[in-house]
């Protein structure tokens, strides 16, 4: 250390690696907390359609989601960290999905797995298919595919772990559940005469605002 | 297995007052069906199930068809002989007739015991609006229960004698029957890159061009 440079309040990664080489391990509460959280993301045991078959395959020996700490599929939303919306969400099922999401304790995360959960997929114009679960609950990772391969689900899990490791405990980067004014309860839609009421939660999702070119 | 005509003849012999006709299928499948009257359908169904030559003990599929009102054009030819001895004069007369629409329920029957089938039954309602009752065949074939509920849900056919007639796919408060041909879906289009003519028309309606003023509701 030279006398000229003022000591930085934060330790750099290079300095930390140097300390680790000497057998000194430095960490912060935040890092430890996120390291623990990101390596034991417990999904809810909840499948909706054919994507659920891929989710099951990902949990079995060949793809082995246990390598990433997510093998504990919980049968109760109260013990789960991750909701994998795996398959077509019908309008009749959507209130139950939102209800499950509301029953999960924070911190919680959501995957929209497959074309149907993302946008309604091939059934988008249908009379009983929700055009994407992100209308009612905030989705962290979208997994495209019809259905996605188990590797895609594993990739989404790794991406989620990265996201969790990047979250801070306090300040502006804090996750939703640590912000005092954030909503923790999402309104469950009601069955209307032709559609769900309301058809979307405007706090979570708004339709795309596009302006067409003249003559197009 | 007997042909549909043979089955029809035996049904007519057994139930003299019952309307029964063969609806032929001109397609390559050539799966001709048996059109029954609503009043005797239940008795005829029991006959088909219990008859030793048919023993149709399994109903594999129940489905609905919505037939809208149709205008039928019938052409009749009248030939009048020429008094002068020439070739007869042929005049064509076209008559237009409006055939009222109806809802149709189709049952596919098999015999597990005799390993034959299918025999296709059709039942038709009187119209599409207020007289949509048909007898339920669930007491004859138990497997009809959910599928008749589905036809009730999506087409609006009311099955008399069904043990538990509720909607099955849509929720209870849902209005209308989505598989009917005149079903109007809620106008909830959003942009998507699908260049179909119908979708493009919706896109124009929902996303006005720049400078064209406000959006239509």
A57 and A134 co-located in one domain: yes
Displacement of CA B135 from its chain's centroid (Å)? 15
Domain count, chain A: 2
Those residues with Cβ within 8 angstroms of residue B77's Cβ, 6 or more apart along the chain or in another chain = B90, B91, B92, B93
- Alpha carbon of B168: minimum distance to chain A alpha carbons (Å): 10
- Alpha carbon of A35: minimum distance to chain B alpha carbons (Å): 39
> Per the CB < 8 Å rule, is B171 touching A191?
yes
The average pLDDT across B111-139 equals 91
> Per the CB < 8 Å rule, is B190 touching A131?
yes
The two three-digit tokens of residue B152, written as one number: 């009730």
Those residues with Cβ within 8 angstroms of residue B201's Cβ, 6 or more apart along the chain or in another chain = none
Residue A173 lies in a domain: no
Give the pLDDT score at B1. Answer: 81
Give the pLDDT score at B215. Answer: 42
Q: How far apart are CA A118 and CA A141, in angstroms?
A: 10
The average pLDDT across B164-182 equals 91
Residue A180 lies in a domain: no
Alpha-carbon distance values, B204 to A76, A185, A186, A207, B148 (Å): 46, 37, 33, 16, 40
> Per the CB < 8 Å rule, is B209 touching A193?
no
A20 and A104 co-located in one domain: no
The count of other CB atoms within 10 Å of the CB of residue B10 is 17
Statement: residue B197 has pLDDT above 90: no
Statement: residue B45 has pLDDT above 90: yes
Averaged over successive runs of 10 residues, the pLDDT of chain A (216 residues) comes to 55 83 82 90 92 93 92 92 93 94 91 93 87 92 94 95 87 76 84 88 83 66
Contact in structure between A135 and A189 (CB atoms under 8 Å): no
- Alpha carbon of A132: minimum distance to chain B alpha carbons (Å): 12
Q: How far apart are CA A29 and CA A210, in angstroms?
A: 45
Residue numbers in A near B183 (CB within 8 A): 127
Statement: residue B203 has pLDDT above 90: no
Name the residue ranges covered by the structural domains of chain B: 4-66+103-184
Give the pLDDT score at B49. Answer: 93
Give the pLDDT score at A179. Answer: 78
Residue numbers in B near A91 (CB within 8 A): 171
A35 and A76 co-located in one domain: no
Contact in structure between A89 and A112 (CB atoms under 8 Å): no
Helix (H) or strand (E) holding B20: strand B20-23
- Chain A residues whose C-beta is within 8 A of a chain B C-beta are 91-92, 119, 124-125, 127-128, 131, 191-195, 199, 207-208, 210-216
Give the pLDDT score at B92. Answer: 84
Residue numbers in B near A191 (CB within 8 A): 171-174
A104 and A48 co-located in one domain: yes
Give the pLDDT score at A145. Answer: 92
> Per the CB < 8 Å rule, is A214 touching B210?
yes
Beta pairing class for B102-111 and B116-124: antiparallel
A83 and A106 co-located in one domain: yes
Q: How far apart are CA A87 and CA A69, in angstroms?
A: 23
Structural domain boundaries enclosing A54: 41-161
The three-class DSSP label of residue A149 is coil
pLDDT, chain B, mean: 87
Residue A15: cis peptide before it, omega within 30 degrees of 0: no
When CB atoms are compared, the residue of B183, B203, B209 closest to A214 is B209
Question: How are strands ordered across the β-sheet holding B58-67?
Answer: B20-23, B33-36, B116-124, B102-111, B58-67
R_g of chain B computed on alpha carbons: 24
Q: How far apart are CA B171 and CA A196, in angstroms?
A: 10
Contact in structure between A78 and A87 (CB atoms under 8 Å): no
Residue numbers in B near A211 (CB within 8 A): 207-210
Q: How far apart are CA B45 and CA A96, in angstroms?
A: 40
- pTM equals 0.81
By residue count, chain A amounts to 216
- Alpha carbon of A197: minimum distance to chain B alpha carbons (Å): 12
- Strand residues in B24-181 grouped as ranges (E): 33-36, 58-67, 70-80, 89-99, 102-111, 116-124, 133-135, 158-160
The average pLDDT across B32-42 equals 91
Q: Widest CA span of chain A, in angstroms?
A: 76
The average pLDDT across B166-192 equals 86
Which candidate in A124, A127, A202 is best for mutational testing of the B interface (most B CBs within 10 A)? A127
The pair phi, psi for residue A13, each rounded to 5°, is: -65, -35
Statement: residue B165 has pLDDT above 90: yes
Residue numbers in A near B172 (CB within 8 A): 191
Statement: residue B58 has pLDDT above 90: yes
The two three-digit tokens of residue B59, written as one number: 């109903």
> Per the CB < 8 Å rule, is B174 touching A191?
yes
Range with lowest mean pLDDT among A208-212, B3-7, B60-64: A208-212
A35 and A133 co-located in one domain: no
A46 and A147 co-located in one domain: yes
Statement: residue B213 has pLDDT above 60: no
Taking one residue from A and the other from B, the number of pairs with CB-CB distance under 8 angstroms is: 56
Give the pLDDT score at A215. Answer: 62
Q: How far apart are CA A188 and CA A135, in angstroms?
A: 11
Confidence bin at B216 (pLDDT 50/70/90): very low
Statement: residue B94 has pLDDT above 80: yes
Residue A94 lies in a domain: yes
- Alpha carbon of A55: minimum distance to chain B alpha carbons (Å): 25
Residue A16 lies in a domain: yes
- Residue A58: give its domain's CATH number: 3.40.50.12280
Give the pLDDT score at A104. Answer: 92
Residue A135 lies in a domain: yes
A35 and A117 co-located in one domain: no
Residue A126 lies in a domain: yes
Residue B172: cis peptide before it, omega within 30 degrees of 0: no
- Alpha carbon of B15: minimum distance to chain A alpha carbons (Å): 43
> Per the CB < 8 Å rule, is B185 touching A192?
no
Q: What is the CATH number of domain B4-66+103-184?
A: 3.30.460.80
Residue numbers in A near B203 (CB within 8 A): 212
Give the pLDDT score at A214. Answer: 66
């Amino acid at each position: 250390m030279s006398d000229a440079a003022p000591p930085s309040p934060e330790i750099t990664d290079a300095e930390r690696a140097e300390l680790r080489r000497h057998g000194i391990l430095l960490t912060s509460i935040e890092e430890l907390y996120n390291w623990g959280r990101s390596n034991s993301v417990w999904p809810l045991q909840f499948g909706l359609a054919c994507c659920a078959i891929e989710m099951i395959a990902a949990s079995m020996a060949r793809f082995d989601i246990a390598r990433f700490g997510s093998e504990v599929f919980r049968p109760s939303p109260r013990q789960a960290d991750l909701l994998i919306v795996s398959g077509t969400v019908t309008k009749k099922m959507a209130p139950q999905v939102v209800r499950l999401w509301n029953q999960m304790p924070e911190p919680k995360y959501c995957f929209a797995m497959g074309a149907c959960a993302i946008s309604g997929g091939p059934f988008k114009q249908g009379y009983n298919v929700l055009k994407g679960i992100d209308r009612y609950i905030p989705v962290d990772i979208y997994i495209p595919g019809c259905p996605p391969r188990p590797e895609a689900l594993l990739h989404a899990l790794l991406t989620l772990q990265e996201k969790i490791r990047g979250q801070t405990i306090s300040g502006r980067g804090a996750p939703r559940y640590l912000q005092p004014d954030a909503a923790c309860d999402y309104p469950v839609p009601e069955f209307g005469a032709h559609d769900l009421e309301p058809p979307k939660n405007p706090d979570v999702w708004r339709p795309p605002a596009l302006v067409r070119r003249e003559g197009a | 297995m007997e042909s549909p005509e043979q089955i029809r003849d035996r049904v007519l012999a057994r139930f003299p007052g019952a309307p029964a006709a063969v609806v032929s299928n001109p397609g390559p499948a050539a799966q001709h069906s048996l059109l029954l009257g609503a009043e005797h359908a239940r008795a005829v169904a029991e006959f088909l199930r219990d008859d030793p030559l048919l023993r149709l003990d399994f109903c594999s599929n129940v489905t609905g068809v919505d037939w809208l009102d149709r205008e039928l054009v019938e052409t009749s030819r009248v030939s009048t002989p020429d008094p002068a001895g020439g070739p007869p004069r042929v005049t064509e007369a076209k008559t237009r007739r409006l055939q009222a629409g109806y809802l149709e329920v189709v049952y596919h029957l098999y015999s597990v015991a005799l390993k034959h089938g299918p025999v296709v039954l059709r039942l038709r309602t009187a119209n599409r609006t207020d007289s949509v009752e048909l007898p339920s065949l669930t007491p004859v074939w138990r497997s009809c229960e959910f599928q008749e509920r589905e036809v009730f849900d999506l087409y609006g056919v009311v099955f008399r004698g069904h043990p538990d007639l509720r909607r099955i796919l849509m929720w209870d408060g849902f209005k209308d029957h989505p598989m009917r041909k005149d079903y109007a879906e809620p106008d909830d289009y959003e942009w998507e890159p699908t260049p179909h003519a119908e979708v493009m028309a919706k896109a124009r309606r929902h996303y006005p061009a720049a400078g064209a003023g406000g959006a239509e509701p």
